[in-house]
Structure 1
Amino acid sequence: MKAVIMAGGKGTRLRPLTSHTPKPMVPLLNRPCMEYTIDLLKKHGITEIAVTLQYLPDVIRDTFGDGSRYGVSLVYFEETTPLGTAGSVKNCADFLDERFLVISGDTLTDIDLTAAIRFHEQNDALATLILTRVETPLEFGVVMTDERGRITRFLEKPSWAEVFSDTVNTGMYVCEPEVLSYIEEKKEVDFSKEIFPYFLQEQKPLYGYEASGYWSDIGSLEVYRQAQFDLLDGRVNLEIKAQEIAPRIFLENHVRVDSSVRLEGPVYISENVHLQAGVEVGPYTVLGDNTVVSSGSKLSRAIFWENNVIGKKTEITGTTLCRNVRIADCVQTGDGAVIGDNCLIGAKSVVKAGVKIWPDKEVGESAIVTTSLIYGMKQTKNLFGNSGIKGIGNIDITPEFVTRLAAAYAYLQKPGSKIALSACSHPFAQLLKHSIMTSLCSSGIDTVDLGVGNSPLIRYGVRSLACIGGIHVFMNENGDEKEIVLQFIDQKGLPISRDMERKIENAYWQETYVRNLHHLGELHVEHQVQEAYLRALAEQLDVPSIQRQRFHLLIDSETRFFPTFLAPLLHDLGVTVTYGAIQDGISKKKADLGIRLDKNGEAFALFTEEGAKLSTEQLLALQLLACSGRHKRIGLPVSAPAELEHLAQLLQIEVVRTKVAPRAMMEVASDERFHPLFDAVYSLMSILSYLAQEEKPLSVLLELLPACHMERKTVFCPWGAKGKVMRKVLEENKGKLLELMDGIKVYDTNGWVLILPDSEDSHVKVISQGATAETAATLASSYARRIAEYQ
């Protein structure tokens, strides 16, 4: 049997470690990560190995040569353009003339490969995925299997709502040579995105082997450090090639340790290290070849590569040093700091926790480094959440941040592309819009400034002006903290796809910007979009009917934008408006309706002439009634009650069930100029049109709407437990009717319950529907209690 080691990765999230080093070559206890992979293959009798190369290929080739030094035979296949995981393996087709194993060169694992191969043989599988369980499955492919191990569902890099299990694809596959016939040559093809979903669709024998043992994908700086701590703790069943002179204290050859040095395990000290008098080496420290630590210095949880020199009385805590770093006397470095190759840190300087310093930088004497040099912010999680990028104004979301973000976005567009920009009326949102505009233009992208607006307006503007995308900035002023939200729109006026979000995130973290003085973008100002939007909206309404009713509305909204924006439309419709708080009293104001408009124009709350607030389901039913005759197709989320689907069918509106995400619902009818569930002004005017035609007050119409008994609960759940919770929900409900479109929807004789992990907070949402309000409440409480128990 042969193997393919995938060793082409750049490891962008590991920078600055990987600025000059391919990801498979980052050292773990002074040995390249890929060396552990070679040792594992050899241990299981696999010695004929292909290695796929792309990023800095000569570093890998020069290190491992033909493999004879490691007792294996290595053959290299280099890619000039990215081919994807499957395309890389296809590139080795001439070598792979028998069953083969695909394995990554940048993971650390001791999984029993022999057992996985035996499982593959016993099931006559075409391909077998080696699976493991992890706490946070977002960066991996979630896999579900039946009792025999046959794969029934496969989802690559899911959102939290799509996490059905904590069992994930390790990127290790046992394959028959026939697999190669399904992969196109010289084309970017991915196993998890194209090949395995195709096998699943065609019911090919695709299996998953759930392995025990250690597995770590070295995908982040934190995981990189933890993998070495796990090796030192003996959690990985792999050989540590050094002498254990005391419990968990490992020394290689030619180490010089002065008599007054204090070592506290676990530690690993490589060849030709010199620890001078009074040095203290604390737990979880790894020192690479030729390191010199001068007298009086203290190290703890420090990871050093080779050829580093540390001055006197310096304290290195939780810091990673690459190669050839010189740190002068009396320096302090903080937890999570990373210092790249060939850096010089001056005497008495301080490198604060989490700071990353790119290669070849010099920090002056007595400097205090509080922000990263070159890299910028610390990555703690994905930039994008449920509805764009959110953060506290001028703290998380700053002009500097949006400038870099816009440059990353521009990198993904063709020069001369046109991007629409808008912002709410808040001065800081407008300031950020101008920072984005400047950055896009300097990157060769034309911008169209739509002025003050909201999300429905920019969606309309992007389409009507034939832009390839748009960015809207608004300040959410609910609560004490002023939260900025950045929304990205695609050329169809929809929120950008998750795939595009990932591309922007990757470009941002890699800092792949393109700026050229000879190709600057042009700035256009277009402030007529509001008028065009209102004209187009009015064309959708039964204007004479609304005019006859002479509606009086109480509108509760922000005062900077909406009153001026709505005035022309409401005047033409003969609608009288009082602006004020709903609590001022709808009946007191003698209004026909009360409306509380969301600041960004996407959502609203509706109140009857008697002051009763419509429930979520009542408002959705009313919106469906208002769509009748205007919309032929609509997307309803999986969380909506079945009665609304029946109502839509009676209205001859085709319903497509979708995920809860706004994009999923909108793209069902992506050709529509207005999205009735995400455009508050359009939806409100459509409801007025419907009420005018029916000539009945809203309170009377509500009695005719279908009764829906719903309950919603939010259960605290740590990030690390979400995958486990979802797996337990599936296991406990085997045999029941389940729907896995978004979260897990469990059907019961008394109704249904939807378990939906929150993608932004440490919560799981529980939504239920029952025949009665009591049934719905009981269902939701029962599952909320179970979710707490599963943790």
Structure 2
Amino acid sequence: MKAVIMAGGKGTRLRPLTCHTPKPMVPLLNRPCMEYTIDLLKKHGITEIAVTLQYLPDVIRDTFGDGSRYGVSLVYFEEAIPLGTAGSVKNCADFLDERFVVISGDTLTDIDLSAAIRFHEQNNALATLILTRVETPLEFGVVMTDEGGRITRFLEKPSWAEVFSDTVNTGIYVCEPEVLSYIEEEREVDFSKEIFPSFLQAAKPLYGYEASGYWSDIGSLEVYQQAQFDLLDGRVHLEIKAQEIAPRIFLENDVRIDSSVRLEGPVYIGENVHLQAGVAVGAYSILGKNTVISSGTKLSRTIIWENSVIGKKAEITGTTLCRNTRIADCVQLGEGAVIGDQCLIGAKSVVKAGIKIWPNKEVGENATVTTSLIYGAKQTKNLFGTHGIKGIGNVDITPEFVTRLAAAYAYLLQAGDKIALSACAHPFAQLLKHSIMTSLCSSGIDTVDLGIGNSPLIRYGVRSLACKGGIHIYMAEPVDDKEIVIQFIDHAGLPISRDLERKIENAYWQETYIRNLNRLGALQVEHHVQEAYLHALVQQLNVSSIQRQRFHLLIDCEQRFFPTFLAPLLHALGVTVDYSSIQEGIRKKGADLGVRLDKNGEQFVLFTEHGEKLATEQITALQLLACSGQHRRIGLPVSAPIELEHMAQLLQMEVVRTKVSPRSMMEVSSEQRFHPMFDAVYSLMRILSYLASEEKPLSVLLELLPACHMEKKTVFCPWAAKGKVMRRVMEENKGKLLELVDGIKVYDSNGWVLILPDSEDSHVKVISQGATAETAATLASSYARRIAEYQFHEKREIDSL
């Protein structure tokens, strides 16, 4: 039995720890992370090991040598270009002439590899993925198996709506040599994205073994810190190579401790550390070898790498310090701060919580560091939500924030790419647009300023002007909440993919920016997109029939933009308008229908001539009717009632069931310049055109629409419980007809119910449809109650441990 240790990772999310150190070499209790992997393989009798290298390969090679010092034999395979997980293993093909284990050098685990290998043998598997359960599966691959362990489905880095379980791929595989024959040479190939999905599609024996041991992917600074705390707490069944002089107090050799020093376990103190008089070392502190802690200093939950010197009377809490750092007297370092290699922090300085300081930086005396040096502010969650980036104006979303955000976006573009920009009429949104424009141009990206607009306009503009993408900023309603939304658009006029969102987030967190005076971006101002949009929209309408009908509308909308924007269109169509609130009364105004337009121009609410408000499903049905001649293919979300699908089919429209995200729905008919579900003006004009051709008022048409009985509920669910809840839903509905396009959709004789984790809040949405309103309400209430019970049972199980 042989093994491959994947040790090529850069660990960009761990920077500044990994600026000079490969990710597998970051120390855990003063030992390289990869050393624990070698020990685990050796424990299970695997001593012939290949090591794949790419980033700073000599650091790893020089540390471990041929492996003899660790009781194993190591052979190194270096990649000139990134080959992906499977490509890296293929690069070792000459070495792998028998069954082998693939394992990462940058994870900490005590999983029973022997048990996994036995499971693999018993099932005659081609490949076996070792699985484990985690609280938050978003950064991993979710895997589903049948009762025998055969893999039935998996999703790589899913959204919350795709989390069908809390069981994930650890990246540890048991493979037969035959696996190598399916991997192309000298090409970037990934196991979880390409090889394993192809095995699943071809019905090859692909299995998942659910392990019960400890497993942690050292992928973030917080996880890096927690993994060491877990080692100190004894949660990881791996050897700690130091003497335990008191319960959970570990010392290596030649430690000098003054008699007045106070130690509070658990702590780990490395070789040749010197703790001077009056030092207090609090719980969960780890001190690297050759470190000096001067008198009167207080440490708590602090990780210090080797060869660092801490001055007198410093206070360090929850901070990580890399190699060869110098902290002067009376310095205060805050929770979550990270100080890179060979930094000097001057006397009486304060480094605030969450600040990251890049290697080789110097902070002067009496300085207060409130923003990271090179790095931006610490992020605790994803930037992007379902509809873009949201935050409170001038609090979360500031000019400084959008400047860094735009620079991160520019890093992923090519010099000379053209990006369209627009914003709503609010002055602060316009200010942010100019901040983004400046940042993009300084990064070599050309910009096109579309002025005041909305999302449908910028989508149209991006396509008509052949831009690489676009950014739109608007103040959400109600304006009093001061919430700003930033939307990114791709070259096809669609919301950007989740993959691109992740890349922007990573570039933002890492602040890998490009600034170049040799190539500044050009600025173009384009004032004709509105005119072009309206002209193209009119081409989609039966203008003469609308003109004959002489509609009178009551439109409730924001007053800075829409009245001016709509005036030429409505004038051309012979439509008269009152711009006022719906509350003033449709009948009083003598309107044929009332419309409340969403400020961003994507959604709207309709009211009949009698003032009756249409339900969401009724508006969608009208949109299908009105657009049937123009759209032959339409995307309907899994949350839409089945009657709408039948209706669309009767209208000879091809229906594709999609996720509920706007991009998923829009890309089904991406060739269309206007999308009825996300362009309120276009959709409204199509409905007017349909009403004119039918020569019937809206209230009469409503009676012809199918009846849909829907119920929606929102159930509180902590982030840490979402994966467990979804797993329980899957387990308890085994044998029923399930649809897993987005969330879990359960069908039964009474209708269906969709369980959909919210991607932005600690909630789970429950959407149901039944034959009657009572049936739909009963279904939704039943599942809402179960979701609450699943959380209670999980908590009770944890409390009993």
| TM-score where L is the length of structure 2 | 0.98
Letter in 2 for 1:522: A
1:471 aligns with 2:471: yes
Count, aligned residues: 791
Instruction: Name 1:392's counterpart in structure 2.
Output: 392
Partner of 1:98: 98
Match of 1:741 in 2: 741
Note the aligned Cα RMSD (angstroms): 1.0
Q: CA–CA distance in 1 between the matches of 2:771 and 2:160?
A: 29
Structure 1 match to 2:110? 110
Determine the C-alpha separation between the residues in 2 that align with 1:725 and 1:305. Answer: 40
Structure 2 CA distance for aligned equivalents of residues 692 and 153 of structure 1? 49
Output one character per residue of 1:322-369: Cα deviation in whole Å (capped at 9) or x when no partner: 111111111111111111111111111211111111111111212222
**Matched residue, 1:495:** 495
Q: What pairs with 1:690-769 in structure 2 (closer than 5 Å)?
A: 690-769=690-769
* Partners of 2:90 and 2:652 in 1: CA distance: 50
- Structure 2: which amino acid aligns with 1:269? I
CA distance in 2, matches of 1:442, 1:350: 32
In the TM superposition, residue 745 of structure 1 has moved relative to its aligned partner by 0.1
Report SS of the residue matched to 2:138.
coil
Contact 1:710–1:773 (8 Å) recurs in 2: yes
Separation in 2, partners of 1:184, 1:442: 41
Q: Which segment is superposed worse, 779-788 or 691-700?
A: 691-700
Distance 1:258 1:479 in 2: 61
- Which range moved further: 260-269 or 401-410? 401-410
Q: CA deviation at 1:652?
A: 1.0
Matched-pair contact (CA < 8 Å) for 1:349–1:364:
yes
**In the alignment, which residue of structure 2 is the partner of 1:533?**
533
Range 488-497 or range 238-247, more displaced = 488-497
Q: Look up the SS of the partner of 2:586 in the other structure.
A: coil
Q: Name the counterpart of 2:358.
A: 358
Residue identity opposite 2:673 in structure 1: R
Mapping of residues 348-747 of structure 1, within 5 Å: 348-478=348-478, 480-747=480-747
Report if aligned partners of 1:355, 1:378 keep a CA contact under 8 Å in 2. Answer: yes
Give the corresponding residue for 2:40.
Answer: 40
Q: Matches of 1:335 and 1:461 in 2, distance apart?
A: 46
CA contact (8 A) 2:145 2:153 kept: yes
Partner residue, 1:163: 163
SS at match of 2:589: coil
Distance in structure 1 (CA, Å) of the matches to 2:492 and 2:232: 53
Equivalence for 2:245:
245
1:230-251 Cα shifts (integer Å, max 9, x gaps): 0000000000000000111100
Provide the secondary structure at the position in 2 that maps to 1:76: strand
2:184 counterpart residue number: 184
CA separation in 2, counterparts of 1:191 and 1:93? Answer: 15
d(CA) in 2 for partners of 1:683 and 1:435? 33
Q: Identify the range of structure 1 (92-101 vs 761-770) with the bigger mean alpha-carbon deviation.
A: 92-101
Within 2, Cα distance between the matches of 1:98 and 1:187?
Answer: 23
How many Å separate the matches in 1 of 2:778 and 2:527? 52
Query: Partners in 2 of 1:688 and 1:657 — Cα distance?
Result: 27
SS at match of 1:711: strand
Q: Within 5 A, what are the aligned runs for 1:187-266?
A: 187-266=187-266
Residue 687 of structure 2 aligns to a residue in which SS? helix
**Counterpart AA for 1:115:** A
- Preserved CA contact (<8 Å) 1:248 1:266: yes
User: How far apart, CA to CA, are the structure 2 residues paired with 1:479 and 1:522?
Assistant: 33
**Structure 1 residues 518 and 370 mapped into 2: Cα distance closer, same or farther (>3 Å)?**
closer
The TM-score, its normalising length taken from structure 1, stands at 0.99
Distance 2:461 2:535 in 1: 13
- Conserved in 2, the CA contact under 8 Å of 1:8 and 1:52? yes
**Cross-structure match for 1:20:** 20
What amino acid is the match of 2:66?
Answer: D
Distance 1:477 1:751, change over 3 A: closer
Per-residue CA deviation, residues 204-236 of structure 1 (Å, 9 max, x unaligned), is 110000000100001111111110010000000
Q: Is the 8 A contact 1:12 1:509 kept in 2?
A: no
AA aligned to 1:539 is Q
The amino acid across from 1:646 in the alignment is H
Give the secondary structure class of the aligned counterpart of 1:13: helix
CA–CA distance in structure 2, aligned partners of residues 497 and 297 of structure 1: 49
Counterpart amino acid of residue 630 in structure 1: Q
Q: Can you list the C-alpha shifts for 1:173-197, whole angstroms capped at 9, x where unaligned?
A: 0011111111111111111111111
Cα distance change, pair 479–727 in 1 and its aligned pair in 2 (3 A): farther
Q: CA deviation at 1:479?
A: 5.7
For the residue of structure 2 that corresponds to 1:9, the secondary structure is: coil
Confirm or deny: 8 A CA contact 1:109 1:214 kept in the other structure. yes
SS of structure 2 residue aligned to 1:77: strand
Shift of 1:507: 2.1
The AA in structure 2 aligned to 1:287 is L
CA contact (8 A) 1:146 1:152 kept: yes
Q: Deviations over 1:259-312 (max 9, x none)?
A: 111111111000000111111111111111011111111111111111111111
What code does the residue aligned with 2:585 have? G
Distance 1:234 1:217 in 2: 18
Determine what percentage of the aligned residue pairs are the same residue: 87
Distance 1:527 1:95 in 2: 63
Deviations along 1:718-741, one digit per CA (max 9) or x if unpaired, are 000000000000000001000001
Q: Which runs of 5+ in 1 are unaligned?
A: none
Alpha-carbon offset, residue 777 of structure 1:
0.3
Aligned-pair CA distance for 1:414:
2.3
Q: Deviations over 1:459-485 (max 9, x none)?
A: 111111111211111111426431111
What amino acid maps onto 2:398 in structure 1?
T
Indicate yes or no: 2:790 matched with 1:790: yes
Q: Any gaps of 5 or more consecutive residues in structure 2?
A: 792-801
Q: Which moved more, 1:776-785 or 1:407-416?
A: 407-416
Structure 1 partner of 2:141: 141
The one-letter amino acid of 1:101's match is V
Cα distance in structure 2, aligned partners of 1:515 and 1:276: 46
CA displacement 1:499-526 (0-9 Å, x = unmatched): 1111222222222222322222211111
Give the letter for the 1:574 counterpart: G
Counterpart position of 1:276: 276
- Once residues 770 and 449 of structure 1 are traced to their aligned partners in structure 2, the CA distance between those partners, rounded to angstroms, is 48
Q: What is the rounded CA distance, in whole Å, between the counterparts of 1:508 and 1:77 in structure 2? A: 32
**Paired residue secondary structure (1:756):** strand
**Conserved in 1, the CA contact under 8 Å of 2:103 and 2:172?**
yes
Q: For the residues of structure 2 that align with 1:567 and 1:480, how far apart are their CA atoms?
A: 27
The SS at the match of 1:666 is: helix
How far, CA to CA, are the matches of 1:314 and 1:552 in structure 2? 74
Do 2:52 and 2:78's aligned partners in 1 also have CA atoms closer than 8 Å?
Answer: yes
Matches of 1:345 and 1:726, distance apart in 2: 47
Cα deviation digits, residues 550-589 of structure 1 (max 9, x gap): 1111111111100000000000111111111111111111
- Please give the secondary structure, in 2, of the residue aligned with 1:555: strand
- Structure 2 CA distance, aligned partners of 1:753 and 1:261? 62
Alignment check: 8 A CA contact 1:288 1:304 kept: yes
